[in-house]
Structure 1
């Protein structure tokens, strides 16, 4: 009887040990996405996202996520679902699996959705049905002080975005304030709210509202509403370049004591935006938009901006930004041009 009990106990113990080992292995390797690199290394873990030619990869054996250049991959296999954008402008939801001939299949649970190559995948992000999983944000701050004339200057630059397979929404806020002894305080504030709806073949619809307050041009508040469409001419793992056009309505209120303290106008707009991000830790974003007026003869305006971002460890960054506004028929001021240059330190989510 004792022998049978010992045999039973030993068998039960063996089952427990084997089960523990099995489940421990399953927990340890539950993240089963795999990346094959040009160096011959194979990473096993969880591919979180890829944007601007950099993949974020999480493993159980490291507290920090890996940042990997997408062009260093030769093969991959995922069991995670992603929102995927190709250089052709097509959007998919599915998993990724490399084939032996260098192609990548985008698959669902029941079908192959498309076949592409690694270099033609320009964006992917884990499908997350929670609100916070699709949110992106950044905040940068700057401060300058000069004792000689008690000059103080404060800068804030922030961005917040939300993206799904078919659309994206974003907002930005940029504010700079300068105070100085015996001089009036000057400030400039610009903010926007942008909605894009993505169609096939790199086309998208655009709805946007911009706000500007600028003491240099006596603009108390300019509200610009835009409706149009655009297309990405180039979209790769190293850059994108696109055009947009449409109509806009411009409502301006001025801080001058002149009798004419507001005006409205209807305009067209034509803009272009380019982003270069395969230049080491640097990211260069530039955009220019021209607004010829329909209702004010001969008037046209231009908004131009360029941002150079240098990535630091732990998601910190240094940002150098230039913003310029030109109006060939400004109201209540001789200043046709105003620009600001900002240097800020920030953090991105």
Structure 2
């Protein structure tokens, strides 16, 4: 907006207001008096340009983004805590019940037993909010003494913890809400209800999937993987706990079924030419990270996984000069995804 208000332009305008009969050359008294003022004014225009961007949702950041969209009722999602399943045993390797509220540590993380799921099996909650609590394997150490306990271990991640929502995710959620308003129990309303539950990373809605007044909501977790039974149950209870009775968010008469997405297992194999100084394992690890980012972007947005895109990602991997024989699931074509499937890269095998 103020790109033309540069130091040079401001100084030139100021000097133009001085009579030509006076010395206005660089180094003169008048020039040296006006130059600092022009520099400060140029800085002021820069600040004005920055500040003007803080009032609009498409350019605002941080607190200003939150304030600019507050009228819509959409707020930044706070970091959530991971929930995991753990099993505990006595010295005879028999399942052992532990006191509710027992605390455990795994490396530098602490967990609390919040619910008994079955004999010797408990739901743990990470005491630290965010993705760091998503450690779902390893032996647990009790913080307080528990009689009869010989060992405990985390066996599964039930609901992934999420970091606080970043600016781009919040902005995108606001824009989608404005472009696809959710109201009166339309498709987007069901999607919005599902996403209001901590741990839900995406949802698809299928109206009339099993006849009149039936709605199916398919969800993934925060890691864009098939949701756990616990997360599915939480969403079901929130939207429609008693079928068709309107006891949840869904209107009376709507029979809602919440289900987890299906995972589509995809293997990747190829031969690669490595750059000098790179090891095969380092390249595989880097490629897996790139694939995981790509997988999350495509969950519930793509109808297939493109072989050519995977090849491009492989070439973008640091240390890869070239590749040949790229195959997905043993074939040379794309891998299709149904409306209820999300991609899962089950194995990555690279050879030289």
If the TM-score is normalised by the length of the shorter chain, which range does it land in? under 0.3
Provide the TM-score with structure 1 as the length reference: 0.24
The structure having more radius of gyration, on CA atoms, is: 2
Q: Which has the higher contact order (CA 8 A, sep 6+)?
A: 2
More helix by share: 2
